[in-house]
Amino acid sequence: MQVRRTKCDSHRSRNRIWFLFVGLLAVLHACSDNLSQLERIQSRGTLRVALIATPPLYFPDESLLKGYDYEIILSYARSIGAKLDIVRANTISDVVALLKQGRVHVGIAGNAPVYPDAKIISSLSYERSEWHVIGNRRNPLPESIDAVTPSTLIVANGSKPALVAAHVKTEHPAFFWLELPNANTRQVLEQVNLNNFKLSIVNAAVYKYYRYLYPEIKIAFTLPQQYSSQWLTSKNGDASLANSINHFISRYKKSDAPERHYNTYFRHMNAFNYIDSMHYLRLIKIRLPLYRDYFKDAALNNDFDARFLAAVSYQESHWDDKARSYTGVRGLMMLTNDTAKRVGVKNRLDPQQSIMGGAKYLNILRSSLPERIQEPDRSWLTLAAYNVGLGHLEDVRIITDTLGDNPDRWIDVEKHLPKISQEKWYEKTKHGYARGHEPVAFVRKIRRYYDVLRLYQQEEILVNLDAPLVLDKLQFISPAL
């Protein structure tokens, strides 16, 4: 017998489904309420982080490297099974505001004094750094805080330098400074470079980078107090995230990661030459635009960053398409006759052919390395092979492995490259003697040119995102006010 369903039966069935659905939501909500903050982040799979967009802490672009603090927080996110969602901030005050609003889980401001807010938790420190008072090199510069004259030192309101200035004042009560509203540290450094502002305060790591972009800035003196890098979280009664972060940082400090990150972001930036920097900035403006499209095409076809190829070309030829060395290599990428034939270049002096040929050859070298080698080591080893030859590089990698170091890491291979110019070492290798110190210098210079070019082009982007400077609204900060 067939049973006929009435409209009433259908209505009761829909009601039962609806109540089951509501009940399920209630159960899920109750379960969610019982989860810790860390567990909620893990269940959603996303860690929201506020980062100040100031290199080398964070490069907010798609490139080979993303920033010193970014690398560390990325490692943490992976350790808890989450993806990063970066929220860009200008100042440490912006970071704290985002935390208090619940828009981010973690705030990273880099090296700074402990933020004076009971609702903000600071993690364990993972790096200590100096702070400098800087000025324009054209001017006589003070040698101590007591020599800083009134109305000459300026920082961005709400910034880390403003926080440092407040700490300095506790030891030097007569010290006062000016704060520029709605600004950031990058903008202040630019104004000092233009000699519109006399002095400012900057973290040593930030200065190490920005002196290449603003070469007129110079250290007047270094403040005696060092500060630590810490991550910030909001105090909400749940310490699960803060405890997890501290556990991660404790393990991080005991690993070899700090040395690797220092080598990646800082060591190659130690050698600063004012004249070379001015020359490089000048050629970025007048020569690079002539070849920029060629670098972009070659990068796209060979899976490189166009700025990486441009940095190689600058080291090789200073972007002179008629360049020629005493050994006979020629053109923008300084190709030998043999290499040119190998990559199909008929005219080494043709800019487009030279750039495309150089990119193809770099790609061949990169592909010849073992697949297990990861970035950025893969790129640095590729550059070394471009300079000294793949055979000599492999000889050094064997030496590196024999001596107990890692042949897949540039920081280890770099140490042993000079050995192939020493008889007791090169006589045991397959390819013999080579000037092993040259690829070391070659790679360091290209890494520096690459980072400066990234910095330069990033500023072109960020300047359009910054609020306009209002130079007539400086705020006096003084014990007397």
Cα(420)–Cα(64) distance, integer angstroms: 29
- DSSP secondary structure string for all residues of 68-97: HHHHHHHHHHHHTT-EEEEEEESSHHHHHH
Q: Helix and strand tally (H, E) in the chain?
A: 19, 12
Residue with structure tokens 């209002």?
470
- Report the amino acid identity of residue 221: F
Q: Catalytic annotation on 316? A: yes
Q: Which of 66, 36, 39, 35 is nearest to 53 (CA)?
A: 66
Cα(420)–Cα(430) distance, integer angstroms: 11
DSSP-derived 3-state class of residue 221: strand
Angle between helices 240-254 and 37-44 in degrees, nearest 10: 80
Beta-bridge mates of residue 110: none
- DSSP secondary structure string for all residues of 317-359: HTT-TT-B-TTS-BTTTTB-HHHHHHTT-S-TTSHHHHHHHHH
- Report the amino acid identity of residue 366: R
Cα(53)–Cα(92) distance, integer angstroms: 11
Residues in CB range of 337: below 8 A, 6 or more apart: 328, 348
- Report the amino acid identity of residue 148: V
Cα(73)–Cα(108) distance, integer angstroms: 9
Catalytic residue among 127, 179, 190, 316: 316
Cα(237)–Cα(428) distance, integer angstroms: 64
Q: What is the CA radius of gyration of the chain?
A: 28
Residues in CB range of 53: below 8 A, 6 or more apart: 60, 88, 89, 90, 462
Give alpha helix (H) positions in 369-436.
377-388, 390-402, 410-416, 423-426
Beta-strand pair 120-122/177-180: unpaired
- DSSP secondary structure string for all residues of 174-196: T--EEEETT--HHHHHHHHHTTS
In contact, 425 and 415? CB cutoff 8 Å:
no
Catalytic residues: 316
